[in-house]
Amino acid sequence: MFAIITPALIIGSVAERMKFSAVMAIIALWMFLVYFPLAHMVWGIDGMMNGVWNANAKIRAIDFAGGTVVHMSSGWSALLLCLFLGPRLGFRKEIMAPHSMVLCMVGTGMLWVGWYGFNAGSALGADAIAANAFMSTTLATAIASFTWAMLEWMLRSKPSVLGFCSGAVGGLVVITPACGFVDANGAVIIGVLAGAVPFFACTKLKSWFHYDDALDTFGVHAVGGTLGAFLTGLLATVTVNSNLAGPAASQNGLAKIVGHTLWLEQLKAIAITIALALIGTSVIALVVRATLGLRITPEIERQGLDINLHGEEGYIVSG
């Protein structure tokens, strides 16, 4: 499931301007060149960055449900594809707001509920760790959505449904690597920062650097995932997850650095994740651009991809 959800996040950032054939090729290649190697490094029993279960881990990092594997990898790859493709026609000249806030709110609710399977389900059992992951996910997400909306209110005079939804997703992203390792206090800290840091990433970075990320995949998932991976190193506690002091963790030294210098190991994992995502995605984008081509023509973009590439429309409005 994670393997197909992750590249879907990337594609959202390049909406309305990439060839369908290129989308299919990139998804297939990206899973094999980026996602699978990274997932093995982080979660494989002999993974080089699996500090919890690999007694011989070279990097004693921790990631409960995919902050590095899912969110960082997709977010940083999305930024690179945005730069490869360039902006949509009319970007920064026309208003490109979501067409339905109702669907946005419904989708956010579906994500929030589904994320419990993502986070609590990563405990692989109905136990105290799963319950803690459920609790911390709820707490961080609620606080992050509130924080984002309040920042909008303070800085833009109007809190919005879109801001609430963006904050909720930001909270879900940032708590993902930490949910099975942090207590309620840690979840509160993560929730506040998850609402604030991605907010400024989405509202400021795009205007400063002029990249067209249609779904804010970089601002929410790359920045949020990176933040979550780092905060996990600061806030993880053995009282929540005894595996942090289990046999493998004791042998490789993870047990000694939890609550102390674990954040340094997290920084190493962050650097490797970013490097793998950027290098792998660059190679894939160059190959696909040279063979299939990446971008549709301006004429197709103006008319719409639904009609030209798929022969259908999302909405049929009769005269």
Task: Give the DSSP H or E segment for 80.
Answer: helix 73-85
Give the residue extent of every domain in the chain: 2-310
Helix 223-235, helix 161-175: angle, nearest 10: 50
Helix 36-43, helix 2-13: angle, nearest 10: 130
Q: Is 313 helix (H, G, I), strand (E, B) or coil?
A: coil
The reported pLDDT for the residue numbered 42 is 98
Model-level pTM? Answer: 0.95
The reported pLDDT for the residue numbered 319 is 57
Beta strand residue intervals within 58-172, DSSP E: none
The reported pLDDT for the residue numbered 254 is 98
Q: Which residue has the tokens 């303070």?
A: 154
What's the CA gap between 235 and 212, in Å, rounded?
A: 34
End-to-end Cα, the chain, rounded Å = 42
Q: Is 18 helix (H, G, I), strand (E, B) or coil?
A: strand
**Residue 223: how many other CB atoms lie within 10 Å:** 28
Q: What would the pLDDT profile of 124-175 be if each residue is shown by its tens digit?
A: 999 999 999 999 999 999 999 999 999 999 999 999 999 999 999 999 999 9
The reported pLDDT for the residue numbered 99 is 85
What's the CA gap between 319 and 313, in Å, rounded?
A: 15
Q: What would the pLDDT profile of 90-128 be if each residue is shown by its tens digit?
A: 988 888 888 899 999 999 999 999 999 999 999 999 999
Q: Which residues have C-beta within 8 Å of that of residue 135, sequence separation ≥ 6?
A: 184, 187
The reported pLDDT for the residue numbered 314 is 81
Q: Is 318 helix (H, G, I), strand (E, B) or coil?
A: coil
User: In the chain, which stretches have pLDDT less than 70?
Assistant: 318-319
Q: Is 295 helix (H, G, I), strand (E, B) or coil?
A: strand
CATH 3.30.590.10 is the classification of domain 2-310: no
